[in-house]
């Protein structure tokens, strides 16, 4: 059984993978270690709690793979897996190279998450294609007719956009993200939600 962990800026996803099939998934918020003031023990506790839930459900892992866009979090997660699970996980970009031709001007600048998404979509759906990932940032990644990663577009995600509207304006409120009832908002909150979603 493989433990696959995707470490994003907002969320960490853990998945149990058996014979290429995802059989269970857990999510947790990514703690704000980027600021340097957060205690990494919080992450270790959350991670061990998630691993305990997997164990309770009968999942026994003998290998793992990590993909991360947050280097400080990656280090903590990697050490926790070694200590808690007894094996050293492979890290995408360091131990595992995504097998897709990367046509970025500087290939090292592309996030491993974007390459993994492009490669997975290529394997699942063929070529050419555009892969859209709705995360902290929304990314549009293009795979050519030759199956090569060409690059893409990065725009602020929904949460980031909502936070920006709240922080950078005097009168707009902080809102909870949810699907709006109508495209034409009848309140400030509805109008903001409509703008973010549509």
| Strand partners for 140 | 132, 153
Tracing tokens 């600048």 back to the chain, one arrives at: 109
Question: Are residues 183 and 194 in contact, defined by beta-carbon separation less than 8 angstroms?
Answer: yes
Farthest CA pair distance, the chain: 56
- Which two tokens mark 4? 């696959």
Q: How many residues does the chain have?
A: 198
Catalytic residue among 6, 29, 39, 113: 113
**C-alpha dist (Å) from residue 166 to 33, 37, 193, 197:** 23, 24, 12, 16
HEC readout, 115-156: HHHHHHHHHHHCCCEEEEEECCEEEEEEECCCCCEEEEEEEE
- Is 113 labeled as catalytic in the residue annotation? yes
Rg (CA), the chain: 19
Q: What residues are labeled active site?
A: 113
């Amino acid at each position: 059984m493989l433990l696959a962990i995707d470490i994003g800026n907002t969320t960490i996803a853990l998945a149990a993978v058996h014979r290429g099939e995802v059989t269970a998934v857990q999510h947790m918020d990514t703690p704000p270690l980027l600021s340097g003031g957060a205690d990494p023990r919080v992450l270790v506790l959350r991670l061990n709690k998630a691993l305990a839930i997997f164990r309770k459900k009968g999942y026994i892992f003998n290998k793992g793979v990590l993909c991360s866009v947050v280097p400080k979090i990656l280090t903590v997660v990697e050490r926790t897996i070694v200590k808690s699970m007894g094996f050293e996980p492979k890290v995408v970009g360091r131990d595992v190279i995504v097998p897709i031709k990367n046509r970025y001007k500087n290939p090292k600048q592309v996030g491993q998450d974007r390459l993994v998404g492009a490669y997975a979509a290529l394997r699942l759906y063929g070529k050419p294609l555009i892969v859209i990932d709705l995360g902290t940032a929304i990314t549009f990644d293009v795979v050519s007719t030759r199956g090569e990663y060409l690059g893409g577009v990065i725009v602020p995600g929904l949460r980031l956009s909502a936070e920006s509207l709240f922080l950078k304006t005097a009168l707009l409120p902080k809102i909870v993200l949810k699907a709006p009832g109508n495209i034409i908002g009848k309140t400030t909150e509805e109008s903001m939600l409509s703008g973010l979603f549509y």
